[in-house]
A = this chain, B = another copy of it.
Amino acid sequence: MKKDESNRGWKHRLHEIIYEADTPAGKFFDILLFILILVSVVLVMLESVKEIDIKYHNILLVCEWIVTIFFTIEYIARIIAVKKPWKYIFSFYGVIDFLSTIPLYVSYLFAGSQVLLAFRAFRLLRIFRILKLVKYIGEASQLRAALIASRTKIAVFIYVVLILSVIMGTIMYLIESDEAGFTSIPRSIYWTIVTLTTVGYGDIAPQTNLGQFIATVIMILGYGIIAVPTGIVTVEFSRAGKDQLNKRTPGFVHTNTQACPSCASEGHRDDATHCYSCGDAL
A residues with CB within 8 A of B = 41, 44-45, 48-50, 114-115, 117-119, 121-122, 124-125, 127-128, 135-136, 139-140, 142-143, 146-147, 152-161, 163, 166-167, 170-171, 173-174, 183-190, 193-203, 205, 209, 212-213, 215-216, 219-220, 222-224, 226-239, 241
The reply to whether B166 and A152 form a contact with Cβ atoms under 8 Å apart is: no
A117 to chain B, nearest CB (A): 6
The reply to whether A233 and B228 form a contact with Cβ atoms under 8 Å apart is: yes
Bound: A190/B227 CA distance, A: 22
Contacts A227-B233, A230-B231 given; indicate if A156 touches B136 (C-beta within 8 A): yes
The reply to whether A170 and B118 form a contact with Cβ atoms under 8 Å apart is: yes
The reply to whether A167 and B118 form a contact with Cβ atoms under 8 Å apart is: yes
Q: What are the 4 tightest A-B residue pairs by CB atom distance, in nearest-first order?
A: A199-B200, A201-B202, A48-B185, A118-B170
A231 to chain B, nearest CB (A): 4
Bound: A174/B209 CA distance, A: 20
Neighbour of A237 across the interface among B44, B118, B235, CB < 8 A: B235
- A158 closest partner in B (C-beta): B220
The reply to whether A125 and B163 form a contact with Cβ atoms under 8 Å apart is: yes
Could you say which of A115, A161, A197, A228 has the most chain B C-beta atoms within 10 Å of its C-beta? A197
Which B residues lie within 8 Å of A154 (CB)?
A: 224
How many monomers of this protein are in the complex? 4
Which B residues lie within 8 Å of A203 (CB)?
A: 202, 205
Could you say which of A48, A199, A200, A212 has the most chain B C-beta atoms within 10 Å of its C-beta? A199
The reply to whether A45 and B197 form a contact with Cβ atoms under 8 Å apart is: no
Which B residues lie within 8 Å of A213 (CB)?
A: 190
Which B residues lie within 8 Å of A228 (CB)?
A: 143, 147, 233
- Please name 26 pairs of A and B residues whose Cβ atoms are closer than 8 Å in the assembled complex, sorted by A: A49-B184, A124-B159, A124-B163, A125-B163, A136-B156, A139-B152, A143-B153, A147-B228, A158-B220, A161-B220, A186-B212, A190-B212, A193-B219, A197-B198, A197-B219, A198-B199, A199-B200, A199-B222, A200-B200, A200-B202, A202-B203, A227-B234, A228-B233, A230-B230, A234-B237, A238-B238
The reply to whether B209 and A186 form a contact with Cβ atoms under 8 Å apart is: yes
A203 to chain B, nearest CB (A): 4
Bound: A199/B212 CA distance, A: 13
Neighbour of A223 across the interface among B187, B197, B200, CB < 8 A: B197
The reply to whether B136 and A142 form a contact with Cβ atoms under 8 Å apart is: no
Neighbour of A115 across the interface among B119, B174, B199, B226, CB < 8 A: B174
Contacts A48-B186, A166-B41, A238-B238 given; indicate if A198 touches B198 (C-beta within 8 A): yes
